[in-house]
Each structure stands twice: as C-alpha cells, then as structure tokens.
A and B are shown apart, each in its own frame.
Chain A
Amino acid sequence: MSDEELDEFFTRKTQNPEIPFQQADWELMKSKLEQPSQGVNGRSRTGGISPWPLLLGLMLLTGGILIWTYWGSPDHLSGEVAHSAPSQKDAPAPLNEGASSQVQENAHASTPSSGGGLLDGFSERKTGETASEKGGGHKGMISGSLDKYKEPAAHTRKMLPKPVHTPALSLASKIPDLETLFVRNLPSSSGKTEKIHLVPGRNGSKSVAFSERTEDKRRTGYKKFSVSLIVAPDVSALRIKDIVGLGNSVGLNLEYFILPHVSLNAGALYAFKTYRAEGGLYAGYLPGQSQVSGDCWMLDLPLNLRYYALNSDLSRWYVSAGTSSYLMVRELYDLEYTSSSGKPYARRLEVNHGKRHYFGIVNLSLGYERVLTEKIAIQVEPYLKLPLQGIGEEGLKLKSAGALIGFKYNW
C-alpha cells in the first residue's frame, strides 16, 4: 500500500461517521458549565466573567458618593443638632424644626438679623461696631437656621484675609451662660478650617449657630504631597464590541502640588489586561493570522498633570492628562491562523520581559475626591488610555478604559 493509498483510505473512512449521542457526556458538559470560573484547557480566563456588573457597581458607588456629597451633609448636621438640643433646657426649639436663625459664614454678608435670641441682640450691637470699623455694610453675622445650611456657593465664600475670630464667637467664649452644644471641625480645601458652633438660646429663645474659619497653618503652603493606594478594574480592546474580559491594576500614586489647584502625579501600577482581536485590525505576528486572544501583565508608569477644577470643603472634581509608560512583564497570546489550504490552526506565544513603551500611551481622566478626614480622602477616577504606538509583541493599539479607586493620604 502506497502512502497516497493509505492517506486516501483513512480520509475516506473517517468522514461523516455515525456517532450516537451519549447522555453521560452531556452531564459532564453540564457540570463543567456550572463552574463559571473554570476556563478551557485548564486555563482560567477572566474572559468568561462579564465586566458589566462590576462597572455598574462602580457607577452606583460614584452616584452614592455624589448624593452623599450634595445632600448628605446638611442632614447629617441637623441630625446631630436634633440629637443634642432636647437635652438642653434652654433649647426649646430644635433647629431642624424651623429655627429661624441662619448661619452666615461671611462676616460681611448683608442679610439682616431677625431674631430674639441672645446672640441676635449681640449681633445687632456688634453690627454697629463692625460697621463703624469697616465703614458700613455689615449687618450681623448670625441669623438663620442650621437646617437650612447648605454647601454655600463659591461666591459666598469670600473669607476674611487673616485668621478669623468672629465677634460672635469671641463673645460666646466670654459669656458663661453660652454653652456650645457642638463644635464641628470641617477641613477645607482652601487651606482653612471651619468650625461650626451651635449654642442654645436663653429663656425660650431660639438656638443659634455660627461658624468660624481659621487659617490652618499646616495647609497654607503649596508644597503638599499625597500618596494614594490605587486599585483599578478596567477593560481593554481594539474596538468596543471586542471587549471580552476584565483587567485590573494595583499600585501607588504620588502627588505633588505645584500650585494650589494643580498637581503633578507619578505612579507605578502592576496591570493585567485581557483582550481579543479579530483579523485585520493589527499588524500581525505572522501572515494569515485571523484572531488573537491576549493576556498581558505589565508595569504601568503614569505621569500626569492634574487640575482641581471644582472645589468645595469636602469634595473636589478634577481633570487629569498625561502619559504612561508600559513595561511588558509577561504576554500570553493564542494566535489563530488560516493556513494556505484554508484550514485553521492555532499557535500559543508566550513572551517574558518583552517590549518597553516609554511615554507611549496618553492618559485622560476625570476624577472625584471626597475628603474623609483632614489627611485621608477617597478618589474615584474614570480614565481612558489611548496608545500612541503598538503595544506588546503583537503591536496592537490597545485602548483601555476603567476607573481608578484611590485611598489618598495627604501630608
């Protein structure tokens, strides 16, 4: 028997056999399907996990933080008052039930005082003094209710140029009957600390609240540093429809403020990216490539300039732009080819410590920072990474999008 005869014999005999279905084999398949983390060929790929629930969770987290920022603080403050006020005999009207006094942070505000409280009277007296000292225009600084306290608009936040001790507070500290129900220190992004005092009214008069801001000497300088621990889920693909799995990054970011609202950020992140690309979208490792699935582990070294565009006492919004350098640590590719005879075949390619792409990626991001304490903040920063050059052994222009979640420590 010649080689050709043998080949023809086996080709013919193995064509279209009748192999009956075995239920037991489907049972094995079914048990395999019920293990979602089980990859194929023993290789666990994150591609089997949909990234959308995590991204949705991230969006909900961001939304929650926003709600907490803009609507949470006043409720929180009035809640404290409601809890404290009833224990004081001289506090007949809890502030969250319509006390008419208002917090005026600006000593130069022109709102007329309106009250019968202890400090209201004082305020009127002091008004004259202040007006005479400053040349008029000051009509009292304490009036209004704490439950109407909102995050003040930026234009109402003109602070006194020097450390401020409001006349009202000075008097409050001198009058023994005046008992402060609570004092709350609020760190401010403007480098000042705000104290909110609540004092009860006397003989049935209304409780009043006022605030005081003092310069925080530790925060007045521009040279401020912070370090952030960062985790970042992300997706990578050449096209949106090719997104197959979730990557991640973890690392540190060092921030240096070169101006009060501008900082320079440098970081180091260990990143994992997974993707798949259909034919025709990449340079290709060998001709005839029809598809590639890749897993890459790399060091991402971002260098970004950040501008804090919107600032309030407890939160900040910022935009950031810069570049990243990718140092490839490990690359694992499944390359699928179509042979000259039209038959497909696959090849696995593994590269360790491959290419280095210095400043080869553009970073764009928009972030939100929530101050937790004077030194600690949490950040959420959706980002986009756009390559300027082909990345890795395959030379693909791999785009990434995700969200950095950072725990920031300032000093």
Chain B
Amino acid sequence: MEQKPTSTILKGASKGDRKCQELLYRQFYGYGMSVCLRYTATREEAVEVLNDGFMKVFLNIDHYDPESSFTTWFRRILINTSINHYKKNVKHNHKALDHIKDPPFLQHDALDELSYQEIIGLIQNLPLAYRTVFNLYVIEGFTHEEIAGILHISVGTAKSNLFRARAKLKNLLTRNHEEGATRHE
C-alpha cells in the first residue's frame, strides 16, 4: 500500500518543526535507504546521500502536491541527489574504474536464497560508473539515450558500462554458485 505522510506531519515539517521532520524521516527512512544503497559504495555514503535528499525534501516540501504520491516525489529527489553525488565523485573515481574490489562474501549459493544485503553488496561492488548506469537502466527503466543525457556521457559509453556491469555481476553470481557447489561436493 502506498505510504503517505499525514497532513499534520507535512505542515509541521514545512514550518520546520523538528518532531514532524523526524516523523517524516522515520516513515520514509527505509524506502530512501533502499534507493540510496544501490547508488553508493558504502552504507555511510548512502546515509550521506539520503540526508542530502531529505534536506531537499524539507527545503522544498511546500512544492509537494499532497494529492500526488509522496514516494514518487521522494524517489525523484533521491535519484537526482544520487546523480549529483555521482557527478561530484566520478572524476575522482575515474582512475579506479577498473579497480577490482574484493568480491562480497555470499552465504547462500542458490540465487533465490540471497538476502537483500547480499544483493546490495553485489551492486555496491561495482565501480561507480557501472553501478550508476546499471541502476538507471535496469532498476529505474531509463533508456541509454536518457542516461547519456543525464550523466553527460555518450550512448556508447552508457551501453558499454551496462554491459560490463552485467558481466561483472554474472561473474560474481556464477563464481559464488560454483564455489557453493564445490563446497557441497
């Protein structure tokens, strides 16, 4: 069911009432983190992006139309904030694009038994550019042309980054599955 903040919370948050802001934060914390964790490499980074997003929410809450979905509006803010975060960090991460991080340890070898944390760990293991394109294309549903416009990259780069992201994820999942099978043998 669609989560919606009450009008009391919205009015209070609009006036800067700290208690109402906290209630709104608590109510949409989980949803916000689920978006931010996918775009960032660590939980700390995700909290930073989430809080930047909530700051935008609190500053612009008067522009929210109570008739429309709050989660859609909030998600839009979080994606924009994540993209800004990407743009801020992409130059610093460029040299480390091909840096191979240690693959996350997966407790379950069967794909369907993987927990949410393990799935997020796989996505977070991707380099920043791969991760961002993967999220925008696979999870958010943008086209390559749109992603190219958003991230200021060519369509070819967007496609290439998606291809590499998928390859890397497949590799991680397959390796995990094979290691699991070996352990069982």
A14-B119, A346-B80 given. 19 additional CB < 8 A pairs?
A6-B169, A6-B170, A14-B34, A14-B123, A25-B50, A26-B26, A40-B53, A41-B88, A47-B59, A336-B76, A339-B142, A343-B142, A344-B75, A345-B80, A345-B136, A345-B142, A346-B79, A346-B83, A346-B150
The reply to whether the CB of A157 lies closer than 8 angstroms to some CB of chain B is no
| Minimum distance in angstroms from B15 CB to a CB of chain A | 12
Q: Are B139 and A14 in contact (CB under 8 A)?
A: yes
Q: Are A346 and B142 in contact (CB under 8 A)?
A: no
Q: Please name the 6 residue pairs, one residue from A and one from B, whose CB atoms are nearest each other, closest first.
A: A344-B76, A346-B80, A19-B30, A17-B116, A13-B119, A341-B141
Residue of A nearest to B117 (CB): A17
Q: Are A21 and B55 in contact (CB under 8 A)?
A: no
Binary contact track B49-83/A, C-beta < 8 Å → 1, others 0: 01111111011000100000000000110011101
Given the interface pairs A10-B123, A33-B58, A40-B52, the reply to whether A345 lies near B173 with Cβ below 8 Å is no
The reply to whether the CB of A375 lies closer than 8 angstroms to some CB of chain B is no
The reply to whether the CB of A175 lies closer than 8 angstroms to some CB of chain B is no
The reply to whether the CB of B156 lies closer than 8 angstroms to some CB of chain A is no
CB neighbours (8 Å) of A47 from chain B are: 59
Q: Are A13 and B55 in contact (CB under 8 A)?
A: no
Q: Is the interface of A mostly helix, strand, loop or mixed?
A: mixed
Q: Are B47 and A25 in contact (CB under 8 A)?
A: yes
A154 to B25: give the CA distance in the assembly, Å.
Answer: 65
Name B residues whose Cβ lies closer than 8 Å to a Cβ of A.
18, 21-22, 25-26, 29-30, 33-34, 37-38, 47, 50-56, 58-59, 63, 75-76, 79-81, 83-85, 87-88, 111, 114, 116, 119-120, 123, 134, 136, 138-143, 146, 149-150, 152, 166, 169-170, 173-174
A339 to B144: give the CA distance in the assembly, Å.
Answer: 11
Q: Are B51 and A28 in contact (CB under 8 A)?
A: yes
Residue of B nearest to A43 (CB): B84
CB neighbours (8 Å) of A347 from chain B are: 149-150, 152
A17 to B34: give the CA distance in the assembly, Å.
Answer: 7
The reply to whether the CB of A153 lies closer than 8 angstroms to some CB of chain B is no
Q: Are B25 and A29 in contact (CB under 8 A)?
A: yes
A332 to B146: give the CA distance in the assembly, Å.
Answer: 21
Q: Are B138 and A345 in contact (CB under 8 A)?
A: no
Q: Are A21 and B29 in contact (CB under 8 A)?
A: yes
| Minimum distance in angstroms from B151 CB to a CB of chain A | 9
CB neighbours (8 Å) of B88 from chain A are: 41-42
Q: Are A341 and B80 in contact (CB under 8 A)?
A: no
CB neighbours (8 Å) of A10 from chain B are: 119, 123, 134, 138-139, 169
CB neighbours (8 Å) of B81 from chain A are: 40-41
Q: Are B87 and A26 in contact (CB under 8 A)?
A: no
| Minimum distance in angstroms from B145 CB to a CB of chain A | 9
CB neighbours (8 Å) of A9 from chain B are: 111
For this complex, into which size category does the number of interface residues on chain A fall? 35 or more
Residue of B nearest to A36 (CB): B16
Given the interface pairs A40-B56, A41-B88, the reply to whether A3 lies near B51 with Cβ below 8 Å is no
Q: What are 24 inter-chain pairs, A to B, with CB distance below 8 A?
A: A1-B174, A3-B166, A13-B116, A14-B116, A14-B119, A14-B123, A16-B34, A17-B116, A19-B37, A25-B29, A26-B26, A29-B25, A30-B18, A30-B22, A32-B51, A33-B58, A40-B52, A40-B59, A41-B52, A344-B75, A344-B79, A345-B83, A346-B84, A348-B87
Q: Are A345 and B26 in contact (CB under 8 A)?
A: no
The reply to whether the CB of A170 lies closer than 8 angstroms to some CB of chain B is no
Most B Cβ at <10 Å: residue of A16, A30, A48, A345: A345
The reply to whether the CB of A87 lies closer than 8 angstroms to some CB of chain B is no
The reply to whether the CB of A18 lies closer than 8 angstroms to some CB of chain B is yes
Q: Are B30 and A20 in contact (CB under 8 A)?
A: yes
Q: Which of B21, B56, B63, B80 contacts A344 (CB 8 A)?
A: B80
A14 to B33: give the CA distance in the assembly, Å.
Answer: 11
A391 to B143: give the CA distance in the assembly, Å.
Answer: 32
| Minimum distance in angstroms from A209 CB to a CB of chain B | 57
The reply to whether the CB of A309 lies closer than 8 angstroms to some CB of chain B is no
Q: Are B29 and A14 in contact (CB under 8 A)?
A: no
Binary contact track A334-357/B, C-beta < 8 Å → 1, others 0: 101001110111111000000000
CB neighbours (8 Å) of B63 from chain A are: 278
CB neighbours (8 Å) of A97 from chain B are: none
CB neighbours (8 Å) of A41 from chain B are: 52, 81, 84-85, 88
A9 to B138: give the CA distance in the assembly, Å.
Answer: 10
Given the interface pairs A7-B138, A347-B149, A347-B150, the reply to whether A48 lies near B83 with Cβ below 8 Å is no
Residue of A nearest to B134 (CB): A10
Residue of B nearest to A346 (CB): B80
Q: Are B84 and A6 in contact (CB under 8 A)?
A: no
CB neighbours (8 Å) of A344 from chain B are: 75-76, 79-80
The reply to whether the CB of A286 lies closer than 8 angstroms to some CB of chain B is yes
Q: Are B50 and A1 in contact (CB under 8 A)?
A: no
Given the interface pairs A14-B34, A340-B146, the reply to whether A32 lies near B55 with Cβ below 8 Å is yes
| Minimum distance in angstroms from B111 CB to a CB of chain A | 6
A47 to B138: give the CA distance in the assembly, Å.
Answer: 34
Residue of B nearest to A341 (CB): B141
Residue of B nearest to A278 (CB): B63
Q: Are B116 and A343 in contact (CB under 8 A)?
A: no
